[in-house]
Structure 1
């Protein structure tokens, strides 16, 4: 088995504003992953979509919904990364708020740990906002490319 020395970078964020389907979108991208290597360690892509319940005319959440989403996002991020923060199970890639939703993105080492946690959260109804998720193999980081190139 091939061994790797992995340095987990400190998270640094860049805000990106753009339009998608004539609606405003705001991304917060972890730019410390732009040059991250070895990418194959975190070869799984996790995308989670939160559905906002309260929003303003342009599909952006109310201030109250942002507070709820931010707190839930912190909880998810902590659990998905796992107990050992020096050797996390995931790296937070970023989030995009758009059209009554917030997409949260991670690069994941062990997809089964993340999937089990998220399925358990859904089954136990331990969430303030409805959400769905997808975890896909992405060894080349193709799903992350747009976010990292546009930040």
Structure 2
């Protein structure tokens, strides 16, 4: 198996409906040839406790969300079991999207993290089998649209 590509992050200021959204996409996954090895789509949703205008987190909240991400990301990505796809901040929520190789191992890791007695923020996750990467298309499409509009 070929290696996982080094991430290349693209930042988008966009909208979900009429609500502002900040989306960071790992655009290196557009050309990722080994997609079949990561057939599971993981969505982690984190409720923003402190919100400013239009449901966007305050600066203090961004710090808390970033801290939580720094706990989740290395745990879920250990042994190349997951690849970061995107981060979406909108409507009072931070959403982390990953592509996963082994869902059982990811589930065990996430259950251990979620069972912390005093979590930094309320969060939940769901994993779906998505061998064709259809659930990843909205985020990857942002990158495609940006590259064709230049």
Aligned length: 143
The CA deviation string for residues 84-135 of structure 1, in whole angstroms up to 9 with x for no partner, is: 3xxx100000100001100000000001111111122222335201011001
Q: Which of 78, 96, 106 is residue 114 of structure 1 equivalent to?
A: 106
Q: Secondary structure at the match of 2:138?
A: helix
Q: Which of 112, 124, 132 is residue 132 of structure 1 equivalent to?
A: 124
Q: Which of 36, 39, 57 is residue 40 of structure 1 equivalent to?
A: 36
CA RMSD of aligned residues (A): 1.1
User: What is the rounded CA distance, in whole Å, between the counterparts of 1:147 and 1:98 in structure 2?
Assistant: 14
Counterpart of 1:61 in structure 2 is 57
How far 1:8 sits from its partner (Å)? Answer: 1.1
Structure 2, unaligned runs of 5 or more: 144-150
User: What is the rounded CA distance, in whole Å, between the counterparts of 1:136 and 1:44 in structure 2?
Assistant: 6
TM-score relative to the length of structure 2: 0.91
TM-score relative to the length of structure 1: 0.90
Structure 1, unaligned runs of 5 or more: none
Structure with the larger helix share: 2
* Superposed structure 1 runs of 4+ greater than 3 Å apart: none
Q: Is the 8 A contact 2:72 2:113 kept in 1?
A: no
